[in-house]
Amino acid sequence: MGRLSRRLMAALILLCLGDAVAQAETLRVGGTGSGLAVARALFEAFRTGYPDVELWMPESVGTRGAVLGLEGGKLDVGVLQRPLRADEVPGGRAQELCRTPFVFFVASARTDLQFSRDTLGELYAGTLASNLRPVLRPEQESSTIQLLGYFPELKAPVEAARQRRGRVLALTDQDAMDAAEQSPSLVGVGALAPLVAERRRLIPVPLDGVAPSIDSLAAGHYPYASQLLLAVGPSPSAAATAFLDFVAGPAAAAMLRANGCLPGGQASR
């Protein structure tokens, strides 16, 4: 099944089958692929105290899919990569789960690489002396928005890369990681957390002499971060409320750090 078909299938499952999932003892969680593996790991720990609660989690439907799922009553908990907007999920709320380094990543064998802002421009412009190529993401995906937010000078090179013959486009975070794992010449961009939580054969590339990690992020030496949030609707289920309480606690904090995240907990729209 192609990448687009998988993304559409996940959305259809979310929209069409959500009502078929028993709600009394099932926690329906979905959203951005950057946070699904982390959320699953947290749920497994949460379930030791709530053994009767089951998890239902579709493939990545993105932040927008999570918002639609919450608004339509198809999800109990949405995994987001940005705060809720004022017109989204009326009466709902979101809380910061964690911050994780926003990184450029490559196959684990590529320990020879280091990037700077200048070499990033060359990477997307196709003028880098090596055979490296970027894995592109859709224009409205969170990773693309963050990339151009942190590096606005890349807007023209990224657009040029989209027009280049032989370009590689990944629709989801998982597609991007798959592509980079399978080719030592591809460079992906996105959150560090899924690389760690999914035990990917990928490594983040040092940028301007700083290795991305939760320690360098916490110390302020590495300034690029992705935010992960959990959101619920206006009348969250008991299981959803208990899960959000759990992920804000000390047991979850240790798990978040082990999966490449700095614990959060701040309330947000």
Calpha distance 63→125 (Å, rounded): 29
Query: For residue 134, what are the CA distances in angstroms to 40, 186, 192?
Result: 29, 6, 17
Both 23 and 55 in one domain: the answer is yes
pLDDT tens for the chain, 269 residues long, are 444 445 554 555 455 444 434 445 899 999 999 999 999 999 999 999 999 999 999 999 999 999 999 999 999 999 999 999 999 999 999 999 999 999 999 999 999 999 999 899 999 999 987 889 999 999 999 999 999 999 999 999 999 999 999 999 999 999 999 999 999 999 999 999 999 999 999 999 999 999 999 999 999 999 999 999 999 999 999 999 999 999 999 999 999 999 999 998 555 55
Q: How high is the pLDDT of residue 23?
A: 43
Residues in the chain, how many? 269
Considering just the CA atoms, what is the radius of gyration of the chain in Å?
18
- Sign (positive or negative) of CA dihedral 131, 137, 142, 145: positive
State whether 31 and 20 are in the same domain: yes
156-185: burial string, b at 16+ Cβ within 10 Å, e else: ebbeebeeeeeebebbbbbbbbbbbbeeee
| Residue 19: predicted pLDDT | 45
Torsion angle in degrees (nearest 10) through CA of 84, 86, 88, 94:
30
CATH number at residue 236: 3.40.190.10
Query: Which residue is associated with the tokens 């592509």?
Result: 179
Rounded to 10 degrees, what is the CA torsion of 244, 245, 246, 248? Answer: 90
114 & 70 share domain: no
Shared domain check, 175 and 262: no
Same-domain status, 7 and 70 = yes
**pTM of structure:** 0.88
Give the whole-angstrom CA distance, residue 265 versus residue 91: 19
DSSP secondary structure string for all residues of 34-53: TTHHHHHHHHHHHTTT-TT-
pLDDT at position 255:
96
Last residue of a domain, one of 218, 236, 256: 218
177 lies in the same domain as 214:
yes
Pair 20, 7 in one domain: yes
Measured between alpha carbons, how far is residue 38 from residues 3, 88, 188, 191, 256 in Å? 22, 24, 19, 12, 7
pLDDT at 265: 54
Q: Based on the domain organization, do 128 and 84 belong to the same domain?
A: no
Three-state secondary-structure class, residue 263 = strand
- Give the number of domains in the chain: 2
| Of the candidates 200, 259, 226, the residue with the CA atom closest to the CA atom of residue 103 | 226
Residue 262's pLDDT is: 96
Q: Are residues 193 and 244 in the same domain?
A: no
Q: How many CB atoms lie within 10 A of CB 199?
A: 10
Eight-state DSSP code of residue 91: T
**From CA 248, how far away is CA 266, in angstroms rounded?**
9
175 lies in the same domain as 231: no
Pairing between β-strand 133-136 and β-strand 202-204 as defined by DSSP bridges: unpaired
The domain of 25 spans 3-99+226-268
Per-residue model confidence (pLDDT) at position 268: 54
Residues 128, 92 share a domain: no
Instruction: Say whether both 95 and 105 belong to one domain.
Output: no
